[in-house]
Amino acid sequence: MEFLKEIKLIQGGMGVYVSNWRLAKAVAMEKPGITAGTVSGTGLDWVYVRLLQLGDPGGHVRRALKAFDDMFETGIGKKILDRYFIDGGKAPGSQFKNPPQQIVRALDGTDILPLPSQPEEPVTLALDNDNIELLIATGFAEVWLAKEGHSGNIFINFLKKVELPLVYTMYGAMLADVDGVIIGAGNPDGLPAICSQLVNHETVRIDIQVLYREPGEDFYVPFDPKQVADGKFTHKPLHRPAILAIASLQGLVQTLADSQSKPPDGFIIEHHTAGGHNAGPLGPMKLDTLGQPIYSELDEPDMHAIQQIGLPFWLAGGYGSSEKIRKALNYGATGVQVGSVFALAEESGMKPAYRTAILNEIKKGTDDAALVRTTLFSPTGFPFKVAQLDGTLADDSVYQARSRLCDIGLLQQRGLSKPDENGKRRLFHRCSAAPVESFVKKRGLPHNTESRRCLCNGLLSTVGLGQVKNQVEEPAIVTLGNHLDSIRRLSHQGQYPYWVHDVVQDLLGE
């Protein structure tokens, strides 16, 4: 993994589809080898199905799926096209057809699980083949497009919390020769080893968290690449990408470095001021008057301890300037990971209307603290940064006008009902942003639904792929970091757009 030592600037993964192949490719091509562009691996199945229903503007999805079919001769790309592509695009007022939700089932295809007779025996669950094929194909397509025509570094980013699609999408990305995988929002122990096994197309175990299980009971979905598409992916070994784990403090860095299975190849040390999801504060959660989690000195990483661990690391969260890069290098970091300033670049997947709305707030003089708040909206339970933009889910009236509904389900938890008189339990999927009654019926506590807002629908709307219901588009939700100084500088106080080239010049110079 010598190439990692050269990388000074990683453009962070930004889901859903904010850091898409266009943005990642532009970054990777700016200073090849010194920069890395990261595509978001979250929700790619939903993104691609919707792009196809918009008529696939530019023909990029069709091009990538054709490359997939030409390379592996599985016909999966054509199958996806036949199912979702609408020539000329759907009518603006009509709904998108959804891909299958990622629902795991018992091996007999039902959601019924008997009480375990031997609790030590892990329980095997299954995911539909259609889901698996779509995840592999779209993971491939996004990385293939990002890597097309240059030799710069392309990484892919995942949230560990979204555990089921991760391994399939990562395998698809590996089929397209991805250079690195960055994993945040959870402890990714075990994934470096899984990635190494997938290089040789070995069967891997995807551990699934299931709430209300019996003591000692474990659940997993086996993934055997040889069983997918008649083993057509498995003819030659793949290249092992670097695995970078996102951590906020030295404790997790040390734990992962000492992993019983395999340590990651490096770390992103992400401060709680970064855009997107953040680690919660250490200790009991205390909120300020605006309902934001209060962080303290305890949440500041010990740079010396991290440096002593000896693996390469990059600092993230407010590191979008040349001075901050110098500071990171002085701490012993290899470089920095930067998100917010790229999210507002012209190549970003964020819908221009939201980028303009943010720049207008900056032009008006709205300060950073008023523009971005740390919320508890995310069904993951992690704090989540939200830009305070009118007409988006940040606005309480917009949230209240939307009926709670979970029809995408990427952030669902899995759990088991209480056993009936025959010892049978039902496996359920639930989301804390779904209707409160349905969450409570699935053993949830009402207070855990408070403040939760639908990120799946909201984030797809942010990139112009929102579902339309009764002619109304789902409200967007926009995330951004706390430090907006580099956006102010590059946009001339919100007055002018800027491009990836400008950002990389500003950060790394000539």
Ligand X SMILES: Cc1cc2nc3c(=O)[nH]c(=O)nc-3n(C[C@H](O)[C@H](O)[C@H](O)COP(=O)(O)O)c2cc1C
Q: Does 303 bind ligand X (CB under 6 A)?
A: no
DSSP H or E stretch at residue 156: strand 153-159
- Min dist. Cβ of residue 463 to ligand X (A): 10
Q: Does 139 bind ligand X (CB under 6 A)?
A: no
Give the total of residues touching ligand X (CB under 6 A). 28
- Which of residues 99 and 349 has its CB atom nearest to ligand X in the complex? 349
* Neighbouring-strand partners of residue 63: none
Which position's Cβ is nearest ligand X? 339
Tokens standing for 24? Answer: 């990642």
Binding mask 28-57 toward ligand X (x if CB under 6 A, else -) reads ------------x-x---------------
What letter does residue 281 receive in the DSSP assignment? P
Query: How far is the C-alpha of 122 from the C-alpha of 251, rounded, in Å?
Result: 29
Binding mask 180-219 toward ligand X (x if CB under 6 A, else -) reads ----x-----------------------------------
Tokens 């002085």 correspond to 330
Q: Does 266 bind ligand X (CB under 6 A)?
A: no
Q: Which residues ranging from 240 to 259 are in contact with ligand X (CB under 6 A)?
A: 246
- Categorise residue 180: left if φ over 0, alpha if ψ from -120 to 50, beta otherwise: beta
Q: From the list 275, 301, 379, 494, which residue makes contact with ligand X (rule: CB under 6 A)? A: 275
Q: Which of 222, 214, 217, 218 is nearest to 198 (CA)?
A: 222
Choices 58-66, 92-100, 314-322, 437-445 (CB under 6 A): range interacting with ligand X: 314-322
Answer positive or negative: Cα dihedral of 133, 26, 319, 333: positive
Q: From the list 24, 274, 416, 476, which residue makes contact with ligand X (rule: CB under 6 A)? A: 274
Q: Does 163 bind ligand X (CB under 6 A)?
A: no
Q: Which of 473, 472, 502 is nearest to 486 (CA)?
A: 502
- Which of residues 159 and 376 has its CB atom nearest to ligand X in the complex? 159
Choices 104-112, 115-123, 144-152, 316-324 (CB under 6 A): range interacting with ligand X: 316-324
Q: Does 278 bind ligand X (CB under 6 A)?
A: no
Contact 154, 178 (CB under 8 A): yes
Q: Does 7 bind ligand X (CB under 6 A)?
A: no
- Min dist. Cβ of residue 141 to ligand X (A): 18
Choices 27-35, 186-194, 474-482, 495-503 (CB under 6 A): range interacting with ligand X: 474-482
* Neighbouring-strand partners of residue 156: 39, 181
- Min dist. Cβ of residue 199 to ligand X (A): 23
Q: Which residues ranging from 94 to 123 are in contact with ligand X (CB under 6 A)?
A: none
Q: Does 13 bind ligand X (CB under 6 A)?
A: yes
- Which of residues 453 and 483 has its CB atom nearest to ligand X in the complex? 483
- Residue 443, classified by CB atoms within 10 Å of its CB into exposed (0-12), middle (13-18) or buried (19+), is middle
Binding mask 343-362 toward ligand X (x if CB under 6 A, else -) reads x-------------------
Q: Does 157 bind ligand X (CB under 6 A)?
A: yes
Query: How far is the C-alpha of 149 from the C-alpha of 479, rounded, in Å?
Result: 31
- Residue 143, classified by CB atoms within 10 Å of its CB into exposed (0-12), middle (13-18) or buried (19+), is buried
Q: From the list 4, 7, 9, 12, which residue makes contact with ligand X (rule: CB under 6 A)? A: 12
Query: How far is the C-alpha of 100 from the C-alpha of 130, rounded, in Å?
Result: 8
Query: How far is the C-alpha of 80 from the C-alpha of 75, rounded, in Å?
Result: 9
Q: From the list 152, 192, 293, 318, which residue makes contact with ligand X (rule: CB under 6 A)? A: 318
Contact 289, 31 (CB under 8 A): no
Distances (CA, A) of 205 to 14, 130, 233: 27, 19, 18
- Which of residues 266 and 317 has its CB atom nearest to ligand X in the complex? 317
Q: Does 339 bind ligand X (CB under 6 A)?
A: yes
Query: How far is the C-alpha of 279 from the C-alpha of 365, rounded, in Å?
Result: 29
Find the Cα–Cα–Cα–Cα dihedral 466, 469, 471, 472, rounded to 10°. -60
Query: How far is the C-alpha of 474 from the C-alpha of 468, rounded, in Å?
Result: 6
- Min dist. Cβ of residue 269 to ligand X (A): 10
Q: Does 406 bind ligand X (CB under 6 A)?
A: no
- Min dist. Cβ of residue 392 to ligand X (A): 13
Q: Does 320 bind ligand X (CB under 6 A)?
A: yes
Q: Does 337 bind ligand X (CB under 6 A)?
A: yes
Q: From the list 39, 210, 316, 503, which residue makes contact with ligand X (rule: CB under 6 A)? A: 316
Q: Does 24 bind ligand X (CB under 6 A)?
A: no
- Which of residues 64 and 343 has its CB atom nearest to ligand X in the complex? 343
Three-state secondary structure call for residue 154: strand
Q: Which of 111, 155, 173, 194 is nearest to 9 (CA)?
A: 155
CA 327 remoteness from chain centre: 28
Tokens standing for 303? Answer: 């740079």
Residues near ligand X, by CB under 6 A: 12-15, 18, 40, 42, 157, 159, 184, 246, 270, 274-276, 316-318, 320, 337-340, 343, 479-481, 483
